[in-house]
Amino acid sequence: MENLTNINNLIDPDLKLKENQHTEEGEKFLNNPIVTVGPVTKQYLRSVKSYVTDGNRFVFSDGVSKVQISVISDEIIRVRMAPQGTFLADFSYAINGYPHKITLVKFAEDENIYKISTPKVNCIITKADFLISFTDSNNHMMNADAKAMHFEENVQFGGYYVYCSKVCTNTEDFYALGDKPTEFNLRGKRLVLWNTDTYAFAKNQDPLYRSIPFYIGLNEGKSYGIFFDNTFKTHFDFAVELKDRSSFWSDGGELNYYYIHGPEMMDVVKRYSQLTGTHQMPPMWALGFHQCRWSYYPDSKVKEIAQTFRDKKIPCDAIYLDIDYMNGYRCFTWNQRYFPEPKKLLGDLKDIGFKTVVIIDPGIKVDDNYWVFKEGKSNNYFCRRSDDYFMEGNVWPGRCQFPDFTNPKVRDWWGWLFKELLETGVDGIWNDMNEPAVFGSGTFPDDVRHNFDHHRGSHRKAHNVYGMQMVRATYEGLKKLQKNKRPFTITRAGYSGVQRYSSVWTGDNVATWEHLKLANIMCQRLSISGISFCGTDIGGFTGEPDGELFTRWIQLGVFTPLMRAHSAGDTREREPWSFGEPFEGICRKFIELRYKLMPYLYSAFWQHYKYQLPVVRPIVMLESHEHINHYREDEFSFGDNILVCPVLQPSIHNRKVYLPQGAWYDYWTNQKYSGGKEFVISTPLDSMPIFVKAGAVIPEMEVMQYTDEFELEELFLKTWFSVHPVKSVLYEDHGDTFAYQQDIFLEKTFNVFGSNGSLIIEQVMDGLYTPRYEKYRHIIYGLPFKVSKVLIDGKEQKKYSLDTRNVLEFSSSKKFKKIEILA
Ligand code: GLC
C-alpha cells in the first residue's frame, strides 16, 4: 500500500488547474481531493527494472507494469502498456494488416537509455523515468513523452483509465481525428470520441458521429501520426490544459498506440491507411450525383423526381429511399400502400439509368409477427443488458431491439437479410442511426453486453465500433450476395477502418453558410483521417438554403468524393431545379463538370485504393513547411492535379486564393499563374476558382446523364504545358466488378515535360484491361511557342487545329507511346 508521501508524488502535476479552468480530468480530481480518496490510484510507470526481447518486440518492466514496444515497419512503432503486467488479448477492429517492411532493427543500451532503431526511426526509453520518445534517423526529436504513461483503476467497471502525455512545442500543430466540426488545425482543442447522433449539430459541437482516434502532429515542417487504437471513449487534448502538452487518454481498454513516422504528412496518412485499410474501388455509378430526401414517396413521386432529372438533362446516377419506404419502419419490408410494386418501380428506374439506394437502420421493431425480429429473437442475436434483459429502446419503428453486430454470427445473418432487397432491384444500402442512436437516452446504457468477436465487452468498449460493424455486416453481405459486383454502402457512424466497408456522410448538418464552410473542412479532415469516400448533405439537411447557398454547395460537392444532396422531411423541395434560374442552369453546369471529370476522379480513387493516397488533400499536406499553411483550410487539392477553392460566403464577387509553389492554370480561362502566393480571383455565381497544375494531364469524358449511359468513342486528354516534368495517372477497368483485384485493369502514366520549343507527352501502360474506345482527343493548353509539327510515335500528324488562344487539338490512338509537339 502506498504511503501518503508517495501518493503526493503520484498526483498528476497537470491537474494543478488554473482557477476556473474546467476540464473533465480536472473535475475528477477536484471532486476527489486527496483526503477523501484514500490511496490515490493514478499511477505512473516508474524506473525500468528489466526487459526482454523477442524478435522485433521488446517488453520493459518497472517491476509491476509492462510496456511492449514492437517494430511494425521501418516507420511504424507500436506501444502497449499493461498496468499490472498482463497484456489484454491482442485484437483490433481497425487494423487491416501490417506493412511487413522491416529492414533492420537494432537494440542498444547505455547507462541512461534503451534505444530501438530502424533505418528511419529511433524509439528511446529512459531508464530512470520510463519516458518514451521518437526521433528520426538524424536524431531530430519528433515526439516525446512529457511524463511517463499512467493509469488509474476503474473501481466501478474494472480495468483502467489510461493516459499518455506528450511534449508539445510552441510551433506544433495538430490535424485529423475524423469529423470534428471545428477549425482544421486542432491546436488549442480538447476533443472526445464517442459516436453520437447529433441532429442539426453546431460548429464546435463535440463529439459527433464517428471515432477516428488518429491525429497528425506537425512541427517545423515534419509530421508524425499517433493512432490510439482504443475503442472506449477516448479524449485528446492539444495544448489546452497546458500549452506545452498534448495528451490522449481513454476510459478503459489498453494504452495501445502506433507512432507513425512521416516526415511528410502524406506519408503519415499513407502509413495510417496501410494499417487500417482503404476503400475498395467503388462502382463507377457511386461517383455520380446522388439525390436523396427524407423521404421520396409514394412510388409515383420517386419516378417523377427521376424523370425530371432526365427531362431537364441534369445528370444523376442514384436516388434514395429514406425510412418511409418501409412498412412501419420495419427494416427489410416495403410499405404496401406507397410502394405496392417495388420490383417494377426499381426496374423502371433502372430503365432510365437510376440506381436505387435504400436506408436500413439497426433498430428492429419488437413485433412477434415480423420475420426479422422473430429470427433475431430465436437465434439470440439481439443485445442484452448485464442482467440478461434485452436492450430495448425507441427509434423510428417504436420499441426496438438491436442486433449485436460485434458477433460474427449476427453479422453473417444480417448480411443474408439483404437477399430480397437485392432481388427486388436495390443497388446500394444506406446505414443510419448506427452510433447507435436511441430516442430519449441517446444511446445504449454502458452495461449492455457485446460479443466483440469473442473478446466480450460492455457497451463502453463496443459503442464506438457498433456502427462500423453494422456497415461491415452490410457490406460483407452484399459482397457475398452480389458475387463479383461491387457493393455500395454509406454509413453515418464509424471507427478507424470503416473505410474498408463504406462511404460516409457527415450527418445532419444545417443549411447555413457556416455549415458550408464546415462541410469543406470536415471532408478534408475525414480524408486525411483515412476516409476518402466522404461527403456532406448538399444544401444542408435541416433548414432552408436559398438558391445561392444551394448552388455554392453543389459546386463544392463536385469535389467531394461522395456527391449527395439530401434534406429533412420538413423542408421545402430540394432538387437542383428547385430554385429556378439562374441556379438550375449553374447546378447543371457543375454536375456536368463532375461527370466530365469522372475518369480523373476514378483514377484518384484508384490511387487511394492502391497507393493509400487521400482523394482530397488539404494545402498543409502539400506544403507543410510554410507555417501560414498550417491554418489554410478553405481550399484543397482534389487528386494530384486539381486545386479547388470553393466559394463559402454569400454575395461575394471574388475570393483570395493561395496557389502552392509552381505554375498553375485557371481551369476555366487557362490563364497561367506562378504559385507560392495569393491571388484575388473573381467568383461570379456561375464559376468557382479551380486550378490545374502545369504539366497535368486531366482525363475527361463526354457528359453523360448517368455513368454508363453509352460507350465512349474517345476520351479527352487535356494537357497543360510545363517545363518541369510532371506525372499523371489514368486508371480504367470494368467499373463495377472485382476483376481489378485479379489484375484486369489498366493503369496509364503520362509523363509530360516541355521546353522553349517542345512539349513531350509519354504514355506508359500497365495492366490487362482494354477500354472499348480507340482514340484520345488531345487538347493542349499554355503552349509558349507556335506549333509547327506534331509527331505521334515518330510519325507526323498533319491533322490538328490551333485556335486563336494557341490551344492545340488533335487525335491519337489510345495506345500512343510518345507525342512530340514541336515549334
Ligand atoms: C437521420 C439521418 C438522416 C435521415 C433521417 C431519417 O436523421 O441522419 O439522413 O434522413 O434520419 O431516416
pLDDT band at 779 (very low <50, low <70, confident <90, very high): very high
Per-residue pLDDT averaged across 523-539, rounded? 98
**CA 251–ligand 1 middle distance (angstroms):** 29
Average pLDDT, the chain: 94
**Structure letter (DSSP) for residue 379:** T
Choose the catalytic residue: 229, 432, 635, 732: 432
Q: Reduced to 3 states, what is the DSSP secondary structure of residue 60?
A: strand
pLDDT tier for residue 101 given thresholds of 50, 70 and 90: confident
In angstroms, rounded to a whole number, what is the distance separating the alpha carbons of residues 276 and 253?
19
Give the ligand 1 atom nearest the CA of 437. Answer: 1
pLDDT tens profile 66-97: 999 999 999 999 999 999 999 999 999 999 99
Q: What is the pLDDT of residue 102?
A: 85
Write down the pLDDT at residue 42.
87
**Contact status, residue 330 vs residue 365, Cβ threshold 8 Å:** yes
Q: Which of 298, 297, 316, 293 is nearest to 306 (CA)?
A: 316
Q: Which residue has the cell 502552392?
A: 660
Ligand 1 atom at shortest distance from the alpha carbon of 292: 10
Q: Where are the alpha helices (DSSP H) in 442-546?
A: 459-482, 513-528
Query: Which 3-state string (H, E, C) describes 432-456?
Result: CCCCCCECCCECCCCCCEECCCCCC
Average pLDDT over residues 607-623: 98
pLDDT over 90 percentage in the chain? 94
Q: What percentage of the chain's residues is helix, strand, coil (to nearest 5)?
A: 20, 30, 45
Considering only the C-alpha atoms of the chain, give the largest distance between any 2 of them, rounded to a whole number of Å. Answer: 93
pLDDT in tens, 458-491: 999 999 999 999 999 999 999 999 999 999 999 9
**Hey, is 42 helix, strand or coil?**
coil
The protein residue with its alpha carbon nearest to ligand 1, atom 4, reads: 294
Query: Which of 433, 435, 438, 536 gets mutated to test ligand 1 (max ligand atoms within 8 A of its CB)?
Result: 433
State the distance between the two ends of the chain, measured CA to CA, in whole angstroms: 86
Angle at CA 199, nearest 5°, toward 194 and 205?
Answer: 55
Grid cell listed for 392: 430495448
Residues paired with residue 777 on neighbouring β-strands, in sequence order? 716, 811
The SS3 of residue 113 is strand
Mention every residue, 6+ apart, whose C-beta is less than 8 A from residue 457: 406, 449, 450
Cell matching residue 379: 437465434
Averaged pLDDT for residues 180-199? 98
| C-beta 322 within 6 A of ligand 1 | yes
* Residue of 75, 229, 299, 508 marked active site: 508
Regarding the beta carbon of 432 and ligand 1, being less than 6 Å apart is answered yes
User: How are beta strands 392-395 and 746-755 bridged, if at all?
Assistant: unpaired
Verify whether ligand 1 is closer than 6 Å to residue 361 (CB atom): no
Ligand 1 centre from 327 Cα, in Å?
A: 17
The pLDDT, as a whole number, for residue 774 is: 98
| Cα 404 to averaged position of ligand 1 atoms, centre (Å) | 21
**Relative to the CA of 323, which ligand 1 atom is closest?**
12
Residue 4: is its pLDDT beyond 50? Answer: no
pLDDT digits (tens, 9 = 90+) for 199-232: 999 999 999 999 999 999 999 999 999 999 999 9
DSSP SS3 for 528: helix
As given in the structure block, the three cell numbers for residue 9 are 508524488
Work out the burial of residue 387: count CB atoms within 10 Å of its CB; fewer than 13 is exposed, 13-18 middle, 19 or more buried.
exposed
Query: What residue owns the CA closest to ligand 1's atom 3?
Result: 508
pLDDT in tens, 217-275: 999 999 999 999 999 999 999 999 999 999 999 999 999 999 999 999 999 999 999 99
Among 199, 537, 541, name the best residue to mutate to test ligand 1's pocket (greatest count of ligand atoms within 8 A of Cβ): 541
For residue range 319-349, what is the model confidence (pLDDT) as tens digits? 999 999 999 999 999 999 999 999 999 999 9
- Strand residues in 318-385 grouped as ranges (E): 318-321, 355-360, 364-365
pLDDT at 297 over 50: yes
Q: Which atom of ligand 1 is nearest to the CA of 568?
A: 10
Instruction: Please report the atom of ligand 1 found closest to the CA of residue 507.
Output: 8
Is residue 492 classed as helix, strand or coil in its secondary structure?
coil
Does ligand 1 have an atom closer than 6 angstroms to the CB of 323? Answer: yes
The span from the CA of 300 to the CA of 341, in Å, is: 11
**648's grid cell:** 463559402
Q: What is the pLDDT of residue 100?
A: 75
Q: How far away, in angstroms, is 436 Cα from ligand 1 center? A: 13
Q: Atom 5 in ligand 1: which residue has the minimum CA distance? A: 294
What is residue 237's predicted lDDT score, i.e. its pLDDT? 98
The predicted structure's pLDDT at residue 7:
27
Provide the 8-state DSSP code for 184. Answer: S
CA 199 to ligand 1 center in whole angstroms: 9
**Is 742 strand, coil or helix?**
helix
β-sheet bridge partners, residue 365:
400
Ordered domains of the chain (ranges, CATH)? 17-262 (2.60.40.1760), 289-361+409-611 (3.20.20.80), 617-640+653-689 (2.60.40.1180), 711-822 (2.60.40.1180)
Q: Cis ω on the peptide bond leading into residue 263 (within 30° of 0)?
A: yes
Going from the Cα of 432 to the center of ligand 1, the distance in angstroms, rounded, reads 7
Residue 293 CA: nearest ligand 1 atom is 10
Tell me what pLDDT residue 270 has.
Answer: 98
Neighbour count for residue 638 (Cβ, 10 Å): 21
CB-ligand 1 contact for 359 (6 Å cutoff):
yes
pTM comes to: 0.94
**9 with 47: CB under 8 angstroms?**
no
DSSP conformation class of 141: E
pLDDT bucket at 14, cuts 50 / 70 / 90: very low
Other residues' Cβ atoms within 10 Å of the Cβ of residue 335:
21
Q: Ligand 1 in contact with 508 (CB < 6 A)?
A: yes
| Active site (annotated) includes residue 24 | no
Is 432 a residue of the active site? yes
Secondary element (H or E) of residue 587: helix 583-596
As given in the structure block, the three cell numbers for residue 112 are 541512461
Q: Is residue 294 within 6 Å of ligand 1 at its C-beta?
A: yes
Q: Which atom of ligand 1 is nearest to the CA of 508?
A: 8
709 catalytic? Reply is: no
Q: Which of 324, 430, 432, 538 to mutate to test the pocket of ligand 1 (most atoms within 8 A of CB)?
A: 432
Tell me 257's DSSP state: E
